[in-house]
Structure 1
Amino acid sequence: MVIKDKNVTVTSTVTQMNESLESENFYLLCKMRISSDDLFTVIQSSFDNDATPWFGLVVCLWGTIFLEMWKRVNAKLVYEWDVENFENDEPARPEFYGTNDPVTDEIEPYYPGTLRRTKMLLSFLVGILMVCCVLASLIAVVIYKTWARLKITTSNSIESFLLTTVVASLLNVVSIITLGKVYHIIAIKMTDWENHRTQTNYNDALILKLFAFHFANSYSSLFYIAFLRKNNQKFFQLLGLTDFEDNCGVLNNCMSELGVQVVILMIFKLFPKLLKDVFIPWLRKTKNRICSRIKITLSSKNAMQLTVDDFIIKESKKPDLGDFTLEEYTEKIIQYGYQMLFSISFPLAPLLFFITILCDIRVDAKRLLWICKRPIAFMAQDIGQWLTILDLINGVAVVTNACVIAFNTDFARERPFHEQLIILIVIEHIVFVVKFLLSTIIPDVPQHILLAIRKEKYQVATKMKGYPTSLHQFR
């Protein structure tokens, strides 16, 4: 009986061990299955770690240093090209129209400021309407993504990822590009209608319109994923979609999907430019080369000698660049915003931005020298409102990165809300203080430029009767 009891005991022990091993294997299998199904978890664990807050700090401070160095280069070019007072003496645009000046009664056209401000208000309302179209397109993309996650059932995580997140992101890119092209035409028409006096005022008004729209058009989906996607069930209920809920997985962590969205926007938004500036000119050049070879073959002469007139005709047939400066600045500033506002979710975004800039330099150089007609150079005192926009993006980037760190990263996600709020306030204030110190320490005008300006003033004063000749008077 004792042996039998021992056998029973051994048998039961072995059974318990097998059951334990089976349950452990089942747990590991489930864990592996969950990990394979949730592709975002792998991406998130690669980019969301303890170094994420420090990376956000470096990005924000780099933006300040970049802007201050830009100001120094601008001051140097202003001095070398002697355009310090260009905007004060800038002539009127050829397109400017109006009545005679009511004060001097001269022929010089005068346009009432009240009428222009009224037109600018109407332009602002048109911009608001276009922003509403952007929000409508964003809601449509969100509804598709949520519907796809609910209706598409597949065991392949990669296939599910492509049909939901990637397709939704591509639809968002198409919407951004289409609405951007439409509003670009509208903004030019509205700015022409406002009848600005100088080219600088015209450019500044057009730049503000375009960037205000592009800010909403390009970044709305990223703001939604980062800050609004966690608790949006009430939003779907208001739309009558009670069964819909767009969340970020079991842990409700949106960092990884935010990074995917940033990558897709940065890469695929460059495709229209690549198509227009690289592939279409290459196809056109290849076609012209083939046609010229056919002509040479059919000709009785062995070689065709081109004259100066032939070269002039060839150059005249090249396409125009259009508003090259405006388009390039708009594109670069939008890309700059991607890597400043949300690169914390994808740390390789600055490197990707740098690579695209290097490639774009060579493409634009070829466009300027070989593909298109040479553009006409215009004088300017600075880059206009783009400098203000860069400063604005740097300020918004501090708030955006601080919010992402406090509410979306592993650094603070599991903390209570009041602790997250404290982290947000502390990070934001520390970064703003350091940015202020950097902007104060780094002078906007280099020292050698200041000395050169003082020297010029001194030399002018010594040649004029009655002016002091001490160099200390011109600091």
Structure 2
Amino acid sequence: MSFWAVSFLEYWKRKNATLAHHWDCMDFQEEEERPRPEFAAMAPCMEQNPITGVKEPHFPEKDRLSRILTGSMAIIIMLCVVMIFLVSVIMYRGIISMMMYHTGNAILMTQAGNIANISSTMVNLVLILLMSQVYTSLAEKLTRWEMHRTQTAHEDAFTFKVFIFQFVNFYSSPFYVAFFKGRFVGFPGQYGKLLGMRNEDCGPGGCLIELAQQLFIIMVGKQIISNIQEFFIPKLKAWRQKRKLARVRGSQICQEPKRWEEDYELIMCEGLFEEYLEMVLQFGFITIFVAAFPLAPLFALLNNWVEIRLDAQKFVCEYRRPVAERAQDISVWFFILDIMAQISAFLIAFTSDFLPRLLYKYEHNSHLHGYINFTLSYSPESYVAGNHTLCRYKAFRDHHGNYTLFYWKLLAIRLGFIIAFEHVVFFCLRLIDWLVPDVPESLEVKIKRERYLAKQALADNQDVLLTVSHDSASSGQCTSNRGVLPELHNMDPVHTDA
């Protein structure tokens, strides 16, 4: 999956270069982008642009920096709220498990863990979706308050704010199960506690089963809810707008509305931010957590197929034609995708039994004979009532509750595996980046040809101007531009794709 993610991003670089050249946007951000209208209206002063030499609206960089820092505090507060909700869900899961055990029903006692996990994940999904709506509106107001000069800078700041929050919002619960659950349980006689309740432990089969359940509910549940919203909300908005306009036209002469009136009844296009965000979050699910939920790419494929048809229906039948805006690339979204593609190795190292089994086989020179017994520790202080059998629990601890040497070796190997695996991924990424050029060869030749023809045309025009000026000076006549322009228009035009 890591190699697929790297290859996918390399392919996108080439596709992006082709599209940017086709729409003449390869140097848009650096040379052509102008201040936002909202920035120009609200900027407190005017200053001369050092590049263009023209006075334009200006906002002091020091004031913008202070506003960005203030907005960062608001983001941190919202992230803390997400953590509070996560702790609440963990406590809810513990309470539900205890209630299932206290019923005395054999079936409920056996399935207590699954029932608690599934119900708590559904509650978590509802909280995630509610917090997403609240924070998106907050991030939009904060970004507007920061007064970014260009539309690209404004959108990058807004995108980064929303993604940081959504990353924690959507991935905090799976990350907790994958990396933290079951690691602070303690041992019999000295259990770790949170707010008076024992810390959660993984089931006998590990945390991957529970993680797969959470990923299925959160990922697929979000996809279903998003598709339902994309289908019904535009229709509801369009119905309300048509009803409102029908009341306005009620007093007028009844006649067939004109085409432009029918188009006006369509709702305004809200942009593509939500579409990008949904795809990037999905990309994170299928790259970071694919080891725990191998069906994630299949559900992503099915979701994308449905999404394409829903978007087609929405943009053709429900939305007005959007006003086109130029952009050089997908801006900060590509940086986010690149980071997510590089952190997909941690789940394998910290949740899989591959490394403990490999270390056991290396140290004991056996085919995992006695491995299960080896992973269980003794607790001499705890006895099962009636038969004085020693209590055993899953951990690498000695009789005093201290970690064994095998535990520290395993931890070192896990960290070493992460470092080695990441370096392998980085090396392959750099190798693929070096072998696969960001710009296709045919496009690169095309760009060089256009630049050559542009320089040649400029040189030819300068030669004509110099020749005309020299002839005018030698004949003692004053030549105006009116006499030069016909000569220039008689030259063979240079046609380029740009």
TM over 0.5: yes
**2:174 touches 2:211 (CA, 8 Å); kept in 1?**
yes
Are the counterparts in 2 of residues 100 and 108 from structure 1 also a CA contact under 8 Å? yes
What SS does structure 2 have at the residue aligned with 1:249? Answer: coil
- Alignment of 1:101 with 2:101, yes or no, is no
Q: Please state if 1:326 is matched with 2:277.
A: no
Q: What CA deviation, in whole Å up to 9, does each residue of 1:102-158 have, x standing for no partner? A: 688965211111111111111111111100011111111011112212221342268
Contact 2:163 2:277 in 1 (8 A): yes
Q: Secondary structure at the match of 1:101?
A: strand
Cα gap change, 1:103 to 1:354, in 2 (>3 Å) = closer
- Give the 3-state SS of the residue equivalent to 1:344 in structure 2: coil
Query: Could you give the per-residue CA deviations for residues 253-309 of structure 1, whole angstroms, max 9, x where no partner exists?
Result: 1111111111111111124322322235567889999xxxxxxxxxxxxxxx97452
Structure 2 letter corresponding to 1:421: L
Work out the CA distance in 1 between the residues paired with 2:84 and 2:184: 16
| Number of the residue aligned with 1:240 | 195
Counterpart amino acid of 1:366? Q
What residue in structure 1 maps to residue 24 of structure 2?
82
2:450 alignment partner in structure 1:
456
Higher relative contact order (CA 8 A, sep 6+): 1
- For the residues of structure 1 that align with 2:117 and 2:262, how far apart are their CA atoms? 47
Superposed, which structure 2 residues align to 1:440-451 within 5 Å? 440-451=434-445
2:68 counterpart of 1:125: no
Alpha-carbon shift at residue 318 of structure 1 (Å): 2.5
Could you list the runs of 5+ residues in structure 2 that have no partner in the other structure? Answer: 243-253, 360-405, 462-498
Q: Are residues 1:404 and 2:347 paired?
A: yes
Name the amino acid aligned to 1:406: A
Aligned to 2:489: none
Post-superposition Cα deviations, 1:33-84, rounded to whole Å, max 9, x if no partner, equal xxxxxxxxxxxxxxxxxxxxxxxxxx00000000010000000011111111
Equivalent pair of 1:406/1:413 in contact (CA under 8 Å): no
1:223 pairs, out of 175, 183, 191, with 175
**1:365 lines up with 2:312 in the alignment:** yes
| 1:177-232 deviations in Å (ceiling 9; x for gaps) | 11111110000000110111111110111011111111111111111001100223
Cα drift, residue 436 of structure 1? 1.8
Shift of 1:381: 0.8
Aligned pairs for 1:244-323 (under 5 A) are 244-251=198-205, 253-281=206-234, 307=256, 309=258, 311-322=259-270
Q: Any idea what SS the aligned residue of 2:106 has? A: coil
Aligned to 1:62: 4
Letter in 2 for 1:424: I
> How many residue pairs are counted as aligned between the two chains?
388
**What is the match of residue 395 of structure 1?**
342
- Matches of 1:286 and 1:316, distance apart in 2: 13
The answer to whether the Cα contact below 8 Å between 1:259 and 1:343 also exists between their aligned partners in 2 is: no
TM-aligned CA distance change 1:102 to 1:437, over 3 Å: closer
Work out whether residues 100 and 106 of structure 1, in 8 Å CA contact, stay in contact via their aligned partners in 2: no
Partner in structure 2 of residue 168 of structure 1? 120
| Residue type at the aligned position of 1:410 | D
For residues 195 and 145 of structure 2, the distance between their equivalents in structure 1, rounded to whole angstroms, comes to 42
Q: 1:112 aligns with which of 60, 73, 85?
A: 60
Displacement after TM superposition at 1:238 (Å): 6.1
Secondary structure at the aligned position of 1:184 is classed as helix
2:459 match: secondary structure: coil
Letter of the structure 1 residue corresponding to residue 213 of structure 2: V
Distance of 1:230 and 1:381 partners within structure 2: 47
Partners of 2:49 and 2:164 in 1: how far apart? 36
Kept after mapping to 1: 8 A contact 2:342/2:425: no
Aligned identity (percent) is: 31
> Secondary structure of the residue that 1:197 maps to in structure 2?
coil
- Does 2:99 correspond to 1:144? no
What residue identity is the alignment partner of 1:62?
W
Answer yes or no: is 1:379 the counterpart of 2:330. Answer: no
Question: Structure 1-normalised TM-score?
Answer: 0.76
Q: For residue 251 of structure 2, what is the aligned residue in structure 1?
A: none
- The verdict on how the C-alpha distance between 1:336 and 1:124 changes in structure 2, with shifts beyond 3 A counting, is same
Q: Deviations over 1:151-176 (max 9, x none)?
A: 21342268635531111111111111
Query: In the alignment, which of 419, 423, 430 is matched to residue 429 of structure 1?
Result: 423
AA paired with 2:295? Answer: L
- The aligned amino acid for 1:464 is L
Partner SS, residue 109 of structure 1: strand
Alignment partner of 2:163 out of 196, 205, 211: 211
Partner deviation per Cα, 1:407-432 (whole Å, 9 max, x = no partner): 32232244441333343333232222
RMSD of aligned Cα (Å): 2.8
1:335 to 282, 292, 305: 282
Q: Residues 407 and 413 of structure 1 are in contact (CA less than 8 Å); yes or no, is this contact kept in structure 2?
A: no
Q: Which amino acid aligns with 2:435?
A: I
Which letter maps to 1:221? S
CA drift of 1:460 comes to 1.5
